[in-house]
Structure formats: C-alpha cells, structure tokens
Structure 1
Amino acid sequence: MLAPISCNGYSIYFNEDGYEKLKHYIVERNPSRIFILTDENTNEHCIPVFMGKMPADFTAEIIEIEAGEPHKTIATCSQVWQVLSELGADRKSLLINLGGGVVTDLGGFVASTFMRGIDFVNVPTSLLAMVDASVGGKTGVDLGPLKNQVGVINVPGILIADTSMLMTLPANQMRSGLAEMLKHGLIQDRNYWAAFRDLSALDMNDLDVLIRDSIMIKNNIVMQDPREAGLRKSLNFGHTLGHAIESYFLQAPEKDTLLHGEAIAIGMILETWLSAKTRQFPEDTLEEITRIILSYFPKVTIEKEDIAPIISYLKYDKKNAHGHINFLLLKDIGAPVIDVRVPDDLLIRSFSYYNGQPQTV
C-alpha cells in the first residue's frame, strides 16, 4: 500500500485506502447533501468504478459538464452554481470533483465560491490531474483562450489518487500527464528524471511509485511556498511558452487543439534551449532532454507565421510583473532559476531549434 502524503491542510490517499478515508470523512463531516461533478467521459467510465467502491447506501446527485478545456469557463461555473442552488445545496453540502484537470480545477473553484465556500473532495481520474492539476490548491478557469486567469487557492478536504482510474484513459491523455512528471524530474530530481529514459520495462506497481514520487515533488515545493512567492514558480517550467502555445492552438480555427501536456512538452524543449543560451545549461543534457521528450510526444507543426502570435500570448502569463515577461529556466537538472527575462530574438530562435529536431515517436 502506498503511504498517504500530508499536505497543507489536507492529505492525499492512494487507491483503496482513499475510499476508506472518504467514508470516514463523510461520516465525520455529515454533509447535508453530496454532489459529484463529472464530465460526460468520467460519468460514463469512472462513476461506476467510484460508486462500486462506496457503501451500498451512498447517494449523491451527479452534475455533468461538457468535457474539455473549451468548457473550463465562468459560463460553466455559472451553470453548476445554478444547478447546485436548484438542487438545494447549502453551506454544509459536499462537492466531490471526479474527473481530470478541468473538473478538479473548475470544481474546486465552484466549491470555493458557492455560498462563500463549501467542502470539496478531489478524485482525479487522469494522470495529469493526479500529479499536477488537483495537487497544491490552485483552482480556477480560463478567460477565453487565456489559461487559468480567474481562480483562488483553496485545498480540498482530502484527495484520492486511484490509479485504477487510469485504465480508462486513451494514450494521448496518459502522455499529457507524463509531461508534468517529466517536468518534476527536471526541476527537482536528476534520479527521478533518469527513470523516464525507458519506461518499457515498468509495470503498474512501478507506475504507482512514480506517480506518488511525482506528487511528493510537487507537494514538497507547495508546502514551502503555498502562495507562489518564489520557489513554487519552479513548477512553471515549460509553462510560459507551453501555455502560450496551448492558448494559440485553442483559438486558431485551422489548428488542432493541443492537450495541456502536449503543449507543455513543446514548452519544456523550448525553455531548456533558452536555458542553454542564457544560463549555461549543458548542451549534451539539452540534447538528451529533447530526444526523450520527442520519444513520447509527436512533433507538432509550428509554422513561421505562428510564432509571433504565440509570443504575443506571453504578456498574459501569471508570473509577469511590472510589464516584464518572467521565465523559469534551468542551470542544470534540479537547479531552477526564477524570473529570467529573455530577448525576443532568442524566443524566435528557440522555435527554430524545435522545428529542426527529427521526429522520434
């Protein structure tokens, strides 16, 4: 059994242990009503798994939203707030967010703001949500194509990481979560990063341990800097350009929408190259990182005319201050440098580096 992880104000439990803790949590809190927020995918594939692990007399109202990043909006929140109100939710109600990062981000924000705050529990069902989105207390929604512009920091009562839920995921969704695990290794732990050089020999037990280790890395950073005053910014490696790419592909009608991890994978390659050019990051390690990331993530076509609008999205990044775009870069694996400014000409050249790489998937 995987040991639980203590966080700021809550705990993360794994697999069957999580459901036992949830049963006790419900008895102790004695909520007036229980609601489960899902999307159409998790309602179909994960609700039966979840309900099968709860007591026979467990009852809850299910609220379903549309799946996908385009629906992570205030408009969706308004619909959920309205449904909660119509179904008689009060300040003693409990909202269980059962889904991927969109559901846990949006559900946490809905719970934190409905009647000025009700209890919520996160049950992430995607790898991305388990190792990143549902950990650390960040909740919120997008503002048009701009990622996570509206939200609050608030923690769930408990979090259950049930890795059996991952069996319901398509391959691209598993890869999306893998990007955040790769990031955790790059910013914090060379040995952890080394585990991803070849995953072919790993079984499910090995994956469980890697997932727990990834959560531990993020949680240790969040525990030291819960409000992102300094160290927590290291979790944004790959995200400054990655979010800009994700936003651009989300709104460009001729582009296929990228999953979060797919965009972050590109961002990590670009920002590792920038690290090599501005922070003397080792060139041989840059080549290794690029090769490993591209062994998991298909190359994405980024045309020359895409680069300027992608860069224009950088002005919305939440790490910016006083009109300056701030990057999180690396001196080496496990040695992040916060608040780095990068000239525009290097940004443009970083895309040339990415586009010049051979496809290895």
Structure 2
Amino acid sequence: MKPIEANGYSIFFNENAYEALNSHLAENKYSSIFILADSDTNEYCLPIFLPNLETDLNIEIVEFEPGETNKNIETCVELWNVLTELGADRKSLVINVGGGVVTDMGGFVASTFKRGINFINVPTTLLAMVDASVGGKNGIDLGSLKNQIGVINVPQMVLIDTNYLETLPQNQMRSGLAEMLKHGLIFDKKYWSLFLDLNNLNTGDLDTLIYQSVEIKNNIVTQDPKENGLRKSLNFGHTLGHAIESYFLENENKTSLLHGEAIAAGMILESYISLRKNLISDMEFEEIKNGIDNIFERIVFEEKDIQPILELLIHDKKNEYGTIQFALLDGIGGISTGQKADNELIIDAFLEYNS
C-alpha cells in the first residue's frame, strides 16, 4: 500500500511502515528514544513492534495504566516527570504505541515537553488507525469532559500495521467500525454501503477498508487542518456521542462505554435530527439505523439520563457563542455543519432511539 501524504507527515502501512521508521531513525540524530505505552500494549503489542526496530540508540519504555479514565493531566505530569528523570532532552524521540488514549495523550506530552519534541504514532487499535492517526489532534480529558485540553501538532510519521488488530477483543474492533461508518455517511455513500453486509468481508478487505477510511479523513483534514469549516463534518455523531460517553464515564451507576459504542448511538440520534430537519429521507434514516444496529447493541437510556446528557452538551468544543453546533447528514454521503437543534428535538431523538 502506498503511503498517504498528510499535512506535514506521511502515513505508512504494514511492511512499509518499519522500513520508513528505520530510515527515519538513521537519517535523524536523535539522542534517545522513549516508547510510551499502556500496560496492555506493552504486553501485547511491543513484542510485535520492538523486533522491527533497528537502532543503536538507548530505548526506554514508559508504561502507564490503560483506559480513558487515565487520559488526564495527572498522568501527563507523571509522564513529564519520568521523561525528565530518565534524561530526555530536546533531541529525544517519543514513539506512542497503543490505542487512541496512548496516541492522543502521548502526542500531547511530547508536544509540550521542553516546548515540544518529535513524536511518532503507532496506532494499535482499529479506532486509532482510522481516527487518531490523522489530523494532529493531541489532548486529554478534563474530568469526564472529552478532549478539552490539547494542541494540534503533527507527528513525524504514523505507522499502521494491521497485525496489531489480532491482539484486540471483539468489542474494541467494533468500536473502530463506528468511525469508518461515519466516514462513509458524511463523505462517500458507496463506502458506507460496503458495511451493510460485513459477512462477506475477509482480512484483505479490512486492510483496504482501513486504507480508504484513512484516505477519507485525510482528504477532509488536509483541506481544513484547523477545523474552520469542512473538518467540522467529522463531528457527525460526536456532539451527542461525546456527551453520552462522558455521562456514562462519570456516573458510577453506569457501565462505561467504548468510544465507538457512544458514537454509534450518537449517529443514530443525530440522523434522526437530520430527518426531522428534512436533510435525509425516511428511507435513508431506516437504512442508517438498521446498518448501525447490525453491528452495535443499543444503549439503554433511562428517562433520568437524558437531562444530564443535555447539560453536558454545553461543554462541546464545537459550540460557538454558547450555541450547540451539530454536523448533520445532508443525504447519505453529504454533510451540513453549523446546524442547531433545540432541546425538545434532541429529547424526541432519544425517545425515538428508545422506541
């Protein structure tokens, strides 16, 4: 697979990834390498990664606890302290090996340590490959509020090796499919239709689908790197999806959701809002709802859950002048940004979702 050229860096795939990495290490005079990984990726993914690394440089592995609950400033402070204690300097390289939490937070840690040192991302989950790999967004959560603190800063390169997917449980694989579905819904109806019957897909097909998903996101981000216009289309399903994810994360009576599980619900809810605004047809809504339901189980929303979720919407990063901004579908394969929806319509969407 050919590398995909992003804004200021390249995304390399499978066997070409390690060749590109080792060439980069040979051509750049780094003082040391720090591999950031959570305990899961340290156990399951570094045995794949490390044998492919060719360098005489000193390598330190820095491990932290996995999960969204650890994607916070406290973990960053611990990582900055460890980098300092181990002698990291301006010429050190950070390699983030892991899922979206690792690449988001690792990129933020590298971007802010000594005012910024180079980093490389090696996403190991399907979600991270098709989402966190593109766009240079690095950041952490503020309490339960998703991605409130961060910077846009690109890595030196991104390496996508689909062999890491063999280490994933099924729910993590499903979680990544949500972003791929989204890419089809907002940008490419033909790509969306490929997911309507997953039974006929094989491993080779998955590699191609991942490549196409990265291409779609990169196409959007390249045109609008700072999210002033077109890039807002990538927020479809995320306005409500992030609020749902935050609510389930902070509520001790709820089981935390994976990102893709929350986004899948968000896409159904926001498709219903698109329907009510006459942006999609009844037939398109049913197709979207059935397509997502074939992959994801429905989340149970109790009546008492809806108001707290609505209150979390005000913290969404896309909001402007205190107004909640939605990216809604304009037909399957199209998008309309800057859309507004009142609370009554959002509540109707939850009622329809529960029906």
- Aligned to 1:200, what secondary structure does the other structure show? helix
In the aligned structure 1, how far is the partner of 2:120 from the partner of 2:305?
A: 40
Question: How far did 1:57 drift?
Answer: 4.9
8 Å Cα contact 1:97/1:108 also seen in 2:
yes
In the aligned structure 1, how far is the partner of 2:298 from the partner of 2:207?
A: 28
In the aligned structure 2, how far is the partner of 1:27 from the partner of 1:55?
A: 9
How high is the TM-score relative to the length of structure 2? 0.99
Match of 1:270 in 2: 269
Match of 2:283 in 1: 284
Deviates more, 1:162-171 or 1:47-56: 47-56
In the aligned structure 2, how far is the partner of 1:126 from the partner of 1:40?
A: 14
In the aligned structure 1, how far is the partner of 2:247 from the partner of 2:264?
A: 15
In the aligned structure 2, how far is the partner of 1:294 from the partner of 1:202?
A: 18
Question: How far did 1:335 drift?
Answer: 1.5
The runs of 4+ residues in structure 1 deviating greater than 6 Å are none
Question: How far did 1:55 drift?
Answer: 2.9
CA deviation string 1:298-332 (max 9, x = no partner) = 11111011000001000000110011001010120
Question: Matches of residues 231-310 of structure 1 in structure 2 within 5 Å?
Answer: 231-310=230-309
- Aligned to 1:249, what secondary structure does the other structure show? helix
- Aligned to 1:329, what secondary structure does the other structure show? strand
Match of 1:355 in 2: 354
8 Å Cα contact 1:105/1:134 also seen in 2:
no
Question: How far did 1:349 drift?
Answer: 0.6
Match of 2:338 in 1: 339
CA deviation string 1:69-88 (max 9, x = no partner) = 00000110110000000000
In the aligned structure 1, how far is the partner of 2:96 from the partner of 2:243?
A: 27
In the aligned structure 2, how far is the partner of 1:70 from the partner of 1:37?
A: 17
Does residue 83 in structure 1 map to residue 71 in structure 2?
no
8 Å Cα contact 2:79/2:109 also seen in 1:
yes
Question: How far did 1:56 drift?
Answer: 7.5
Match of 2:115 in 1: 116
CA deviation string 1:114-153 (max 9, x = no partner) = 0000000000000000000131100000000000000000
Deviates more, 1:288-297 or 1:82-91: 288-297
Quick one: which amino acid aligns to residue 175 of structure 1?
R
In the aligned structure 2, how far is the partner of 1:187 from the partner of 1:58?
A: 44
Question: Matches of residues 21-100 of structure 1 in structure 2 within 5 Å?
Answer: 21-55=20-54, 57=56, 59-100=58-99
Instruction: Provide structure 1 residue ranges, at least 5 long, that are not aligned to the other structure.
Output: 357-361
- Aligned to 1:296, what secondary structure does the other structure show? coil
CA deviation string 1:218-264 (max 9, x = no partner) = 00000000000000000000000000000000000100000000000
Does residue 329 in structure 1 map to residue 328 in structure 2?
yes
In the aligned structure 2, how far is the partner of 1:207 from the partner of 1:58?
A: 35
In the aligned structure 2, how far is the partner of 1:204 from the partner of 1:186?
A: 23
Question: How far did 1:352 drift?
Answer: 0.9
- Aligned to 2:158, what secondary structure does the other structure show? strand
Match of 1:189 in 2: 188
Question: How far did 1:280 drift?
Answer: 3.1
In the aligned structure 1, how far is the partner of 2:55 from the partner of 2:219?
A: 37
Question: How far did 1:62 drift?
Answer: 0.3
Quick one: which amino acid aligns to residue 178 of structure 2?
A
For the aligned residue pairs, the C-alpha RMSD in angstroms reads 0.9
Q: Percent identity?
A: 59
Quick one: which amino acid aligns to residue 179 of structure 1?
A
How high is the TM-score relative to the length of structure 1? 0.97
Match of 1:359 in 2: none
- Aligned to 1:150, what secondary structure does the other structure show? strand
CA deviation string 1:131-187 (max 9, x = no partner) = 001311000000000000000000000100000000000001001110000000000
Match of 1:313 in 2: 312
Quick one: which amino acid aligns to residue 139 of structure 1?
N
In the aligned structure 1, how far is the partner of 2:291 from the partner of 2:340?
A: 27
8 Å Cα contact 1:10/1:157 also seen in 2:
yes
Mark the CA change 1:225 to 1:269 in structure 2 (over 3 Å): closer, same or farther: same
CA deviation string 1:39-70 (max 9, x = no partner) = 01000000000012223856510000110000
Quick one: which amino acid aligns to residue 235 of structure 2?
N
